[in-house]
Structure 1
C-alpha cells in the first residue's frame, strides 16, 4: 500500500493524475447510468443500452489509463505503439460489452456478479495491452505480486459494483455506491499495476522530455474521452426527455378526454376526492354539478356524428374559458359533463351554474348551420345533501334528471322530495322494462267508424300498463318514461306484433292502426320488421295502417320518404297523425304519400264555440277532398261535434262517443251493440279518461 502511494506521489504528475481521476468518475457514472437503463428494458433496447454502456465505459477507462500513464514519469524517453494503443481501446470496449451481456442475464442473481468480474478482467486486459504499447528505453521489470493484486482489486470492485447496480430497487445512494466501487476498481488496478512496473535506464543521458507536449497529449485524450462518454450521456438524456414527454402525454391521455381535451371521469373522481378531503379538513362546503345536454341527439341525427363531435369540442372550449379560480369541469362520457366548486354561499353555485348554462344556450355554427343545444343542470352540496362522494354524485344526477324531466335549462338543487320523485320514476322505468320482458302489458282497441254510414272501419291499438303496486299508469306517464330509458323501440315492436296477432283473429276484415314513433321510423330496419310481423301473424297487409306524426319526418325527409315507400310497397297504409298540432306543412302532404289524415282532437273540441277551430277543420276537410285523402277526426265526445263533422263531410271519426278503448275480449260485444241510429240520436259520452297512444318505435 505504501509503495502504491509512493508511486502516485513521487512518480506521477499530480495534475494529470487529477485529470485522469475526473475522467474516471465521469466515465464510470455515465457507464453505470446507461447500464442501469438497459436493466430496465428488454430485447433489442437492452442490447442497445449495453452497447452504449460498453462504448462509454471502454472509452472512459481507456482515457483514464492513458492520461494516468502520461502522468507517469519514468525518467527515460517514452513512445507509444499506435497499433497496440488502438487495440487496447478495442479490448476495453469489446470486453465490457461481453461483461454487460452476462450481467444482464436474468436466469440468476449470480450473473451480475459474474458480469462484474468479467468487466474487471476486461479493464485489466486493457491496462496491460496499453502497457505493451508503452515503449521505454531501459530495462523493464514486473512485480508479479502487485500484478495479481491489481487484477484481483479490479475484479472484486467491478463485481460488487454491478451486483449493486442490478438490484431491483436502485436508489440514489446505491447508484453512487456502485460508481464509487467502479472508480475504486479502475484506480486501484492502474496504480497498483504501475507500482509493479519498474524501469532501469540503459544510458546516462536522454533527450529532454517536452512536458508541454505530454500535457497536450493528455488533454487531447481527455477531450476524446469526453466526446465518447458524452455521446453516451447525450443518448441517455435524450431518452430520459423522450420518456418524460411520453409519460406526460400518457398521463394526460389517462386523465383527459381524447375528443374534447377536458378532464375525464378518472380525473373527475380524483379531483372530487381531493375536494372532499380539503372540505373535511377546513370544515367547508363544495358542490357537484351534473350537466346533460338536451338537444345533442338532434345534432347527431340530423347532421351526423362528426357534427356532434365538433359541437362537443366547441362546448368544451367555451366551458374551459368560462372557468374561474379553482372551478373544475370534466366530461364523464357522451353528452354528460360534471363540475366541482367550493363555496361559502349557495349563490356562488347559482352564479357558476348560470355561467355554464350560458355556454350551452349560445348558438354555435356547425356544418353551415346554427344550433344551440341547451342543457339540464343538477347540483348536490356536501355535506348537506350527502355523506360520501358516491352519494353526492348520485344526488346531483337525480337533480339533473328532475330538471330534464321538467324541461328546465337552469340549475336544479337536490332535495329529499326530488330524490324521492326521481327514484320513483326510475323504479317505474325498471318495472316497465320488467313488464315488457314478461309480457305484462295490454293492448286496448278504440273503434274508428265511418261518420256517414255508421259502419266500423277498424280499430286503433293503444298500449295499457297496470303496475302491480301503483295500479293503472297513464300512457302520458309511461310513454315519456320509455323514451327517456331507451325502451320505446321495444315497446313499439311489441305493440305492432300484438296488434297484428289480435287483428288476424277477428272474424271481420277490420283494419288495425298502430302508432309509430319518430325513433322507430328513423330505423331503416322498420320495413323488414313490418314484413316479418305480417308473415308471422298472417295478417293481410291492407288491414294494417301505421300512424305517425309530422315530427317523425322532418329530421331526415329523404330517409323518411325511402322508409315510407318501402312500407307502402308491402301494401300497408300510412296515416298522418295529429294533423294541425305540429308543423302541419302542406309540403309534407305533397311529398309523402299518406293514405289518411287524422285531425287533431284539439280542433274537434273547439268546433262548437271557436270560429278559428271551425275554420281550420273546414280547411283540413277541403284539403283532404282536393288531395283525395280521407280525413279522420279524433276525440269526438258529443253528439253536436258528431253532427257538425258529418255536415262538413268528414269521412271517419274516433272518440268516446263512438267507443272507448277496450280489451280484445270486449270487441265482439261492442261490434254487435254499435248502431248507426245511436249515432244519429247523439249518445252521451261517458266520463272522459286519458287515452294516450304508443308509437311503434
Structure 2
C-alpha cells in the first residue's frame, strides 16, 4: 500500500508511526461519542428514515471501531504495522464517510436549521480535528477529511442556494489548508521518529562494540559480564554453569620474538578454536592480554571435564602463520556453579584461583577448583595483583642495613632491603611477597625499581660507602638487564664501583651464556658482585673460581642458627681463610650478640651484618648513622 510519505525508511519507523494512531484512546472515544450523539440526535429530531438509518449506522460504527481500537491498542506490538494500519484505516474511512453523509443529507433534505448546524458543525470539527490527530499516516487523515467534506460540498451545490454554494467553495479552501498542515505535521513526526531510530541503532552498535574485543571478535569484559547475567538467569535448576579460565603459556615470547601483529593473529586463531569447541549459547570472551574465559551450561562435572580436555587439546595444536609453526599451550582453571560459588563473582574468583594453581603447579595443565586451595593461595594471588601497583601507590620503601668493618667498627656498606607497607594489611614481610614476585615475573619491575631508588640514596653518601642490592635470577634473564642497571646508576649519578650485586648460588644452576655475559658486562663497568647465602643450597667452589666475586656472605644459619656451634665455626674459618687468600671480604650475617661478633672476627671474617649493629632503617636514618660516625671520627681525630 503506497501512502503519503511512502519513503519511510524501514518497517520499524512505519510501526512507530502507525502506533501513534493507537496512542490516544481518549481522543478517539470522545470523537466516537460526539459523532454517535449527533447521529442519534438527528435521527430523533427529523424522524426521517434515511437520516435515521445513517445516524444509527454512524453510532454503531463508532462503537465497533472503539472496541477494535481498544483491543489493538493493548496488543499493538504483537501485530504487523500494515495490518494495524488497514484495520484503523477501514474504521476511520467508514466513520468519516457516515459523518459527511449525515451532514449532506441534512442539507439536501432540509430538516430544521438547528439540525443542519449540528450535523455540519460536528462533521467539519471531526474532520479537521482528526486530521491533526492522524497526521502520522497522512493518507488516512486526508482521506477522512475528504470523506467528510466532499458529501457536504456536493449537497451544498445541489441545494441551489448561494449560501450553501459559498460553503462548498470554503470547504475546498479548508481542505487544502488542513491537508497542508497535516503533511507538515507528518514530516516533522516522521523525521523525529527516524532520528530516534537512527540514534537507537547507533546506541545499539556502540553498545555492541563496547562489549566486543577488537582483536578476536569475542566478548570483552563488559560483554562477558552482560552475558553471564543472562546465562545465570536462564540456567535450569538441574543444570550447572561451568567457567573455563585460560591463560596462554609463554605467549609473551611470541610477541617479543615475532612481533605483536603475529601475536594478534595467534590470539584470533585461539579465539576461533574456542568458538568451535564451545557449546551453543556459551559465552566466549577474551578477558584481557592472553587470558580467555568460556562459560557454558553443563549437566555435570564429567561433561565439564570432557569440554576442558577438548579445549586444551585443540589449543595445543600447532598454529601456522606465514609459514611459521607456532606451538601454544594453555593453563586452565575450571569452576562450577553452584558447587564452587553461588553467584558470578564467587564463580570467577574460584576459576581464577584454580587457574593460578594450574600456573604455579607447572603450567600447561587443567586444574579444577577445590577447597584445598587454601587462604594462603588467595593471599598470594592478592599479593600478585596488588604488588604491580604498589610502586605507583608509594607503598614500597627501601630500607638500608649497615655492613660493618669488624676491625674498625666503621660502616663500609649498606644492603638495600625492600619493605611493603600495605594500607590495609599493614607491613608485609619480604618472604611473603618476594617469592610471589619471582613466580609472576613482577620481580623484574620490582628489582629495577629497588636498584634505582637505592642508587639515588647512595649517591648522597660519602664516596667510601658502597651499596649492596640483591639480584633475582629472573632479573638477570630479562632482556637488557645489564643496560637497565647501568641506566639506573647513570640517572642516580652513582659510580658503578659503588654498587655491589648480591646473587645466590641458584643463579648458576643452568650456567648459561646469558649469566656469563651479564656478569662480564657489568664487571667491565666496575660493578662488583657478592655471593650471598654461601653454604646453603648448591654451594660449589667452582662458582667462586669462575666468577669475579669480591665478597662472600656466610649464611646466618652458621652464625646464629639452631645448628651453630663447633662445626659451623670450623666452616666459617675455612671460608674466611679462603677469602683471605683470594683477597675477598667475608661477611658474617645474622650477628645479634657481642659474643657472635667476637667469634666471627676471631674466625677471620672481615665484615659483619645483623641486629647487633643495626636493623634496616630508612634512607634518612642511614644518612644519620653515617653523619654520626663521621662526627665521632672527627672528634677522635681532634682529640
TM-score, with structure 1 as normaliser: 0.44
TM-score, with structure 2 as normaliser: 0.48
Which protein, 1 or 2, shows the higher relative CO under an 8 Å CA cutoff with sep ≥ 6? Answer: 1
